[in-house]
Structure 1
């Protein structure tokens, strides 16, 4: 093991499953197995961080057309998030970097669609916006 790196051990069938997933996702074209697997693990951790942070007060209601509906228990209202040109826009906050946007990326059925359509996650989610 090289200094600063850690290895993980996978069963052959686990590695094949991950490899199939990597091959099915255009984001990983031209990337090594290790690099793609690392990205998948980090995205999974980020997803759970969003759920832990925002899950207690946000609830995905549904989506229709280019709108996503989220119930925010903190402000006791439904918040609409617009989908435009591979970007999300929160009507409540008037921006694209809020807890509602981050939460959208933590909802599995939305995240899958965003991922397939090439959406980019916001680099920074503002936590003290309320």
Structure 2
């Protein structure tokens, strides 16, 4: 039974092991973010995912992912009825449509899990 004010959940051993492995490898970085336990790490990751989902849900009707490659992301902006190409320029994302590093298209690209996989494949980690 969990303590009052807490709930317990059941996950598979494989999922637990993956989370624990990542937590163990990033323990120092997580401590700097105020996360001092494995339970805190899982809570942190759940909150981060919910925030990304909230951002994704807010802009999903507006944008669609067309393609994610190792050095660019192609999006369809349904409001503008235009295609936005996000490329990596000087180690940062750059929207060719808006000609900016910070725009709604770049923000949407960061909400896509495939983007993090492509960045990791290039040896880049944009999560901090």
Structure 1 residue 8: Cα displacement: 2.9
For residues 91 and 103 of structure 2, the distance between their equivalents in structure 1, rounded to whole angstroms, comes to: 16
Aligned length: 117
Task: Say what the alpha-carbon RMSD is for the aligned residues.
Answer: 2.9
Corresponding residue number in structure 2 for 1:53: 58
- Aligned to 1:45, the other structure's residue is in SS state helix
Alignment of 1:1-130 (within 5 A): 6-11=5-10, 13-14=11-12, 17-24=15-22, 28-30=26-28, 31=30, 32-64=37-69, 66-84=71-89, 86-114=91-119, 117-120=124-127
Q: Mind listing any 5+ residue stretches in structure 1 that lack a counterpart?
A: 122-130
Structure 1 residue 100: Cα displacement: 0.9
CA contact (8 A) 1:86 1:118 kept: no
Q: Mind listing any 5+ residue stretches in structure 2 that lack a counterpart?
A: 31-36
For residues 68 and 86 of structure 2, the distance between their equivalents in structure 1, rounded to whole angstroms, comes to: 9
Q: State the Cα deviation string for residues 7-38 of structure 1 (Å, max 9, x = none).
A: 23123x44762342241468733442023112
- The TM-score with structure 2 as length reference comes to 0.70
- Aligned to 2:83, the other structure's residue is in SS state strand
Q: State the Cα deviation string for residues 77-119 of structure 1 (Å, max 9, x = none).
A: 1111112455312122232322211211222322333467311
For residues 86 and 18 of structure 1, the distance between their equivalents in structure 2, rounded to whole angstroms, comes to: 33
Residues 66/20 of structure 1: CA separation in 2 closer, same or farther (3 Å cut): closer
- The TM-score with structure 1 as length reference comes to 0.69
